[in-house]
Amino acid sequence: MNSVPETENRERSREDGRPPQVIVAESAGFCFGVRRAVTAVEDLIAQGRQHVYTLGPIIHNEQVVEELEQKGVFAVESPEALAGKPGATVVIRSHGIGRAEEERLRALGVTVADATCPFVKKIHRIAQETAEQGRTLVIVGDASHPEVQGIRGWCGGPCIVVGSEEETEGIPNNEKITIVSQTTFSEKKLKKIVEKLKRKCYDCRALNTICNATQERQKEAEKIAATVDAMIVLGGKNSSNTQKLVSLCEAVCPHTIYAQTVLDLADYDFYGLLSVGITAGASTPTKIIREVQNYVGRKF
């Protein structure tokens, strides 16, 4: 059993009469884009639509994906997997896809439901315009993330992906660049990268394309983590925005716990703590957040 943590709060919570607190971030859980994508799939199921697929997991949450599979909705990894299924309906997830991939998808004759997040669509347009202007597009984000791959797919000109200050070293000085970011990137890291690139490039246009929900979620999580004895961050193991929340919380709360579901908390002892904070990534259902909130409340 892991103790979380050994602090004076264990005694203080019993001596000063203050009740223990479970503080849940208001911004925790589904963001607008994720909710929109999941709703698109659920609406197709409600309509009785058969042969529904998603291009990649609809969200980075294994529990949601498994529930949809039980309802007959399956993820495919490429448009080619739908060849020979002209009656199929395929949902493009909130991360979006590149232009060539979308063209291959529509050429198959399947019904396409585009649930790309509007904030991501905006970056796609910027990527196109940047190429038309003869500028180099710099995407700040994780090169392996599907959202970043999709953005690259809309840029017809030079495109560079950087995920850290160190990775900017490969960009030539005095390059004409336009900077965008993955919508779930860390705002603090983005600012540092932009500052460094501005020193390198005389013509540097920086656009903060981190979505407002991500910024609010990160700021609220950091604020709560700085005031509690332990912080729980919920989210799928492949969720980029969840991992960024973990990093932010760990910087101000040494006792930060990452979990996918309430089952991951079985080895932690919360008895005697004065306060525990909870936040969750953009792909975490409310049901999981409530289960964790109730579980921790019973363990004080």
Alpha carbons 14 and 218: distance in angstroms, whole number: 32
Among residues 88, 73, 177, 89, the alpha carbon closest in space to that of 131 is found at 177
Strand order, beta sheet including 89-92: 74-76, 52-55, 89-92, 111-114
Q: Rounded to an integer, what distance in angstroms lies between the CA atom of residue 227 and that of residue 222?
A: 9
Q: Which of 11, 66, 147, 250 is catalytic?
A: 147
Query: Could you give the residue ranges of the DSSP H alpha helices within the chain?
Result: 9-15, 32-46, 62-70, 99-107, 118-132, 146-152, 187-200, 212-225, 240-252, 286-299
Which residue type is seen at 163? Answer: G
Return the structure tokens found at 279. Answer: 């936040």
With CA atoms as reference, report the closest residue to 88 among 65, 71, 106, 102.
Answer: 106
Please report where in the chains the tokens 């602090």 appear, as a residue. 7
CA torsion sign for 197, 220, 6, 242 is negative
Asked if 165 is an active-site residue, the reply is no
Question: Is the separation of the CB atoms in 218 and 245 below 8 Å?
Answer: yes
* Calpha distance 184→291 (Å, rounded): 25
Catalytic residues: 147
